[in-house]
A and B are shown apart, each in its own frame.
Chain A
Amino acid sequence: MLFLVAAGLQLVFGVQKILNLACGSFYALGAYTGVSVVTWALGWGLPAPLFVLPLLAGGLALAALGPPLERLLRTIYDRDESFQLLLTFALVLMFEDVIRFVWGPAPVQLRGSYLAYGQVTVVGTTVPVYNLVVMLAGALIAVGMGWVLTRTRFGRIVRATAENREMAAALGVNMHRVYRRVFTLGVVLGTVGGALVIPATAAVSEMAIEVIVEAFAVVVIGGLGSMRGAAVGALIVGLLKAGAIATWPEVEMLAIYLVVIGVLVLRPAGLFARATP
Chain B
Amino acid sequence: MRTTRRHFLALSAGAAAVAAARLDFAPAFAQSAPVRLGVLAAKAGVLAPVGESGLRGVQWATDRINAAGGILGRKIELVIEEESSPKDTVERFRKLALQDKVEVVTGAISTGVGLALGPVAEEMKTIWLAWDATTQKGVEETMPKPKYSFRSTDNECEAVMGSILTARQWKGKFKTVAGINPDYSYGRDNWAAFLAIMKKYGIELSVVSELWPKLGATDFTAHVAALQQAKPDLIFSCFWAGDTPIFMKQAHGAGLTKSTKFVLTTGGGVHESLKKDFTPEGAILGYNCFYFEYARASALAKEFTRWHQEKFKEWPNYESDHGYFTIAAYKAAVERAARAAGGKWPTQDAVIQALEGVEAESLSGPRRYREDHIMEATFFQGVTTHKNKHDFVTIDPVETMTTKQIQKPSGVGLYDWINGWKV
Whether B183 contacts A112 by the Cβ 8 Å rule is no
Whether B225 contacts A205 by the Cβ 8 Å rule is no
Whether B44 contacts A204 by the Cβ 8 Å rule is no
Given A107-B273, A249-B211; A115-B253 close (CB under 8 Å): yes
Separation in Å of the B312 CB from the closest CB of chain A? 10
Whether B46 contacts A206 by the Cβ 8 Å rule is yes
Whether B222 contacts A200 by the Cβ 8 Å rule is no
Whether B225 contacts A246 by the Cβ 8 Å rule is yes
Cα(A246)–Cα(B201), bound, Å: 30
A156 at the B interface (CB under 8 A): no
One of A111, A114, A206 near B216 (C-beta < 8 A): A206
Whether A114 contacts B211 by the Cβ 8 Å rule is no
Whether A201 contacts B218 by the Cβ 8 Å rule is yes
One of B212, B222, B249, B270 near A201 (C-beta < 8 A): B249
Cα(A197)–Cα(B220), bound, Å: 12
Contacts of A252 in B (CB 8 A): 183, 212-214
User: Can you name the residue of chain B whose Cβ is closest to the Cβ of A211?
Assistant: B218
Contacts of B391 in A (CB 8 A): 111
One of B48, B213, B245 near A202 (C-beta < 8 A): B245
Contacts of A126 in B (CB 8 A): 228, 253-255
Assign chain A's interface to a size class. 20 to 34
One of A107, A241, A253 near B242 (C-beta < 8 A): A107
Contacts of A106 in B (CB 8 A): 48-49, 52, 242
Whether B218 contacts A207 by the Cβ 8 Å rule is yes
Cα(A119)–Cα(B253), bound, Å: 7
Cα(A205)–Cα(B242), bound, Å: 10
Cα(A131)–Cα(B49), bound, Å: 29
B246 at the A interface (CB under 8 A): yes
Cα(A7)–Cα(B243), bound, Å: 27
Residues from 206 to 234 in B contacting A, C-beta threshold 8 Å: 210-214, 216, 218-219, 221-223, 225-226, 228-229
B45 at the A interface (CB under 8 A): yes
Separation in Å of the B80 CB from the closest CB of chain A? 15
Whether B228 contacts A125 by the Cβ 8 Å rule is yes
Given A112-B277, A241-B222, A245-B226; A200-B48 close (CB under 8 Å): no
A250 at the B interface (CB under 8 A): yes
Given A107-B49, A201-B218; A242-B210 close (CB under 8 Å): no
A144 at the B interface (CB under 8 A): no
A267 at the B interface (CB under 8 A): no
One of B52, B211, B252, B273 near A105 (C-beta < 8 A): B52
One of A119, A201, A245 near B246 (C-beta < 8 A): A201
Whether A131 contacts B221 by the Cβ 8 Å rule is yes
A67 at the B interface (CB under 8 A): no
B250 at the A interface (CB under 8 A): yes
B336 at the A interface (CB under 8 A): no
Separation in Å of the A27 CB from the closest CB of chain B? 11
User: Can you name the residue of chain A whose Cβ is closest to the Cβ of B209?
Assistant: A249
Given A107-B273, A112-B277; A253-B46 close (CB under 8 Å): no
Separation in Å of the B322 CB from the closest CB of chain A? 18
Interface string of A67-91 (1 = CB under 8 A from B): 0000000000000000000000000
User: Can you name the residue of chain B whose Cβ is closest to the Cβ of A105?
Assistant: B48
A109 at the B interface (CB under 8 A): yes
Contacts of A202 in B (CB 8 A): 218, 242, 245-246, 273
Contacts of B183 in A (CB 8 A): 252-253
Cα(A62)–Cα(B270), bound, Å: 30
Cα(A115)–Cα(B252), bound, Å: 9
Whether A245 contacts B211 by the Cβ 8 Å rule is yes
A128 at the B interface (CB under 8 A): yes
Cα(A109)–Cα(B250), bound, Å: 13
A176 at the B interface (CB under 8 A): no
Given A107-B49, A206-B216, A245-B222; A127-B253 close (CB under 8 Å): yes
Whether A200 contacts B253 by the Cβ 8 Å rule is yes
Given A125-B254, A200-B249, A250-B212; A205-B44 close (CB under 8 Å): yes
Q: A200-B246, A242-B221, A249-B211 are in contact. List 4 more A-B contacts (CB 8 A).
A: A119-B255, A125-B254, A128-B253, A249-B210
A-B contact pairs, 7 of them (CB 8 A): A106-B48, A106-B49, A107-B242, A202-B273, A204-B216, A245-B211, A252-B214
Interface residues of B (CB under 8 A from A): 43-46, 48-49, 51-52, 183, 210-214, 216, 218-219, 221-223, 225-226, 228-229, 241-242, 245-246, 249-250, 252-255, 270, 273, 275, 277-278, 391
Would you list the 7 A-B pairs with minimal beta carbon distance, nearest first?
A105-B48, A107-B242, A126-B255, A242-B222, A128-B253, A106-B49, A245-B222
